[in-house]
Structure 1
Amino acid sequence: MFAGTFKKQACAITRTFSTSSMKLTGKNNEYSLSSTFMNLKKQGEALDSERQKQRESAVMQMFVNDFSKQSTYDPFDFSIANTRYHRKLQKIRKEEEMKQSSFNSEEVNPEIFYCMPQLLSKYLNNSGQIQHHTVTGLKTRKQKAMAKAVRRARAFGLLSPVARDVSMFPRRGSSL
């Protein structure tokens, strides 16, 4: 299959080489067919290696560390402990984001948000359980009001008792 395309391309290239060389030099200096095949084979191998590199780069970015900013690497960079460390940092960033929640302000009453399940889903874990106040960063009074709003949304059927809101589910094609 691949050799057939080489022959077709080689014939086309030899024709163009011979006509262009005749125009330039005025002589009938044609490139040899074997050198043309060799050039085509090298080009085909280069294309195959590029395609292979593209397939290899299609690995989810979650499993690939970003080494572009570094010139030397520590063995820790390739360890599972490094992955755990980055997960811990990500968890801390999420907790900091949750502490800055607008539910903590005095003017906002979380109980009135029972009709917005996508907003309440931020305070639920993947299995639909209400997260602890140390995770959400809400004050005790606001945490109780938010829990009441979640229970109310479940009673009205706006929120599933075993999962987050559908808007929080990953989309097809996106990585987890």
Structure 2
Amino acid sequence: IENEEDIKIMAKYFIDYIQQNNEQQSKIYVSSGAGPEQDEEDTDTNHQQTIDTADNRIELIHPNHVLKALKEFLEEYRSHRKTTSQAAYQVATLDDRDDSLDIEYWSKYPNVVDERRERLWDALLSGLQKYHSILNARTKLIDENNALAKQNDELRLLLSKYMQSKVNQELQIPPSQIIQLQLAEQSAGNGPGVF
């Protein structure tokens, strides 16, 4: 329920619901042979309030029946709304489309884009294509850089494994001592040693 029209529809539904309920009650009384005055237990639950306005008498729905009536209304209203909204938004296929006015429409706009703007759009397109190629090249370089970094990590791990190997300690001049000597010379500023 979104607007005043929906409220009017709901009010009409409630009035119809009251009338249907009254008709059902009278059918029950006729089929059972009892009248409304004889069935005292039902008078408490089925008692409906009435409001007298100028010339109209309006029966109000009993509070015990409001929830049931509201649920029924919403079910009907939603199903009705779905069918109407689906019918309202059907898209025409190309075969169903009337294209008789297309030529007339486009003939009104022969120069929508003037030559100056067309050159501007062409330059923009060219610039964006160059930018796209630069971005693609950067993507390739980033991927290559990541691959080299991964390879570097693997080689560093392998070198560390070889440096800690038992065979390395058994050599007369272990490579680990040579590397440490080179690092010490570089930090002292002597430059790399000659071997």
**Does the pair score TM above 0.5?**
no
TM-score if structure 1 supplies the norm length?
0.29
